[in-house]
Amino acid sequence: MTDHGIFGPRSVTWRVMGEPIQLVGGFRALLMQGLHPRAMRGVLQNSAFMDPSEAWSRFVRTSEFVGVRTYGTCAEVEQAGRRVRKIHATLTAYDPDTGVTFRLDDPAALRWVHVGEVDSYLTVARRAGVRLSDDEADRFVAEWRRAAEVVGLEPQDVPGSVAELRDYIHAERPGLRFVPEAAHPLRLSVNAPLPRMLTPLKPALPALTLLAFATLPRWARRLYGLPATPVGDLWATATLRTLHTGIGLVPANVRYAPAARRARRLMAA
């Protein structure tokens, strides 16, 4: 039997995650992560993410992990997951609000990071115009319970539908904020150095970050100290749709990454 990993060609995940517009979804997921004090402090105290010279490298590594988890074989997914779980189990961070030192595999923080990913990818896809019925959106959320297992969470402990996703986010809102010791991501995007091959994209990076901010819920934008109006929501949706439509004019062999092209061939078959 062919090993298509934890999702496979019949999944909604393969259809959603291959779209290039999910670059915005990836940025949005990191911004959602940044509003959970423990999740953010775990990053701040154990990586150079907020160092402009390292920020892009970490984003690339995170993107590679998401790619393996989405399209890799079961063995590749397990290897990548084992590596991440080992790192999380051996690192700690300090919470100055409570005076408690916690491990990076703290389930509450991991759960928020997971939900931030799922919500971001689904939100960006639907607002960009990727056709998904309500049932398919629920399937997407449910499929990502398998992804939660990869980082050490129990499937039943994370949302399994869009309604459960919204309820969880609503319940978490009172404890969310942007910690004062973190540099603002929008400021970082202005001066973040890129690998040489991506240097031509540097002028677009602040605009991409701003678009990711604009796709956040209004309450989240306010926590970052940014304007949050219905006009901003309309602008974000219109911009996502325009970008997605424009990207759709690019030939598929250029538009999609190799793993996504292979997935599309398998889905068509």
Whether residue 2 is contained in a domain is answered as no
Whether residue 131 is contained in a domain is answered as yes
Query: pLDDT tens digit string along 156-209?
Result: 999 999 999 999 999 999 999 999 888 777 766 656 665 555 556 667 778 888
Whether residue 6 is contained in a domain is answered as no
Whether residue 132 is contained in a domain is answered as yes
Q: What pLDDT, on the 0 to 100 scale, is given for residue 200?
A: 60
What residues make up the domain containing 122?
A: 12-268
Whether residue 37 is contained in a domain is answered as yes
Residue 111 reports pLDDT greater than 80: yes
DSSP string, the chain: ----TTT-TTSHHHHHHTSTTHHHHHHHHHHHHTTSHHHHHHHHTTS-TTSHHHHHHHHHHHHHHHHHHHHS-HHHHHHHHHHHHHHHHH-EEEETTTTEEEETT-HHHHHHHHHHHHHHHHHHHHHHT----HHHHHHHHHHHHHHHHHTT--GGGS--SHHHHHHHHHHHGGG----TTSPPHHHHHHH----GGGGGGGGGHHHHHHHHHHTS-HHHHHHTT----HHHHHHHHHHHHHHHHHHTTS-HHHHS-HHHHHHHHHHH-
| Mean predicted confidence (pLDDT) in 95-121 | 94
| Mean predicted confidence (pLDDT) in 94-107 | 91
Counted domains in the chain: 1
Of the two residues 113 and 198, the one the predictor is more confident about is 113
pLDDT band at 115 (very low <50, low <70, confident <90, very high): very high
Whether residue 244 is contained in a domain is answered as yes
Rounded distance, CA 222 to CA 234, Å? 17
pTM over 0.85: yes
Residue 19 reports pLDDT greater than 70: yes
Retrieve residue 106's tokens.
Answer: 């703290």
Rounded distance, CA 34 to CA 216, Å? 12
Q: What pLDDT, on the 0 to 100 scale, is given for residue 68?
A: 94
Query: pLDDT tens digit string along 213-269?
Result: 999 999 999 999 999 999 999 999 999 999 999 998 888 888 888 889 999 999 988
Query: pLDDT tens digit string along 123-133?
Result: 999 999 999 99
Query: pLDDT tens digit string along 34-91?
Result: 999 999 999 888 875 555 556 666 677 788 899 999 999 999 999 999 999 998 899 8
Whether residue 233 is contained in a domain is answered as yes
Rounded distance, CA 238 to CA 111, Å? 30
Whether residue 4 is contained in a domain is answered as no
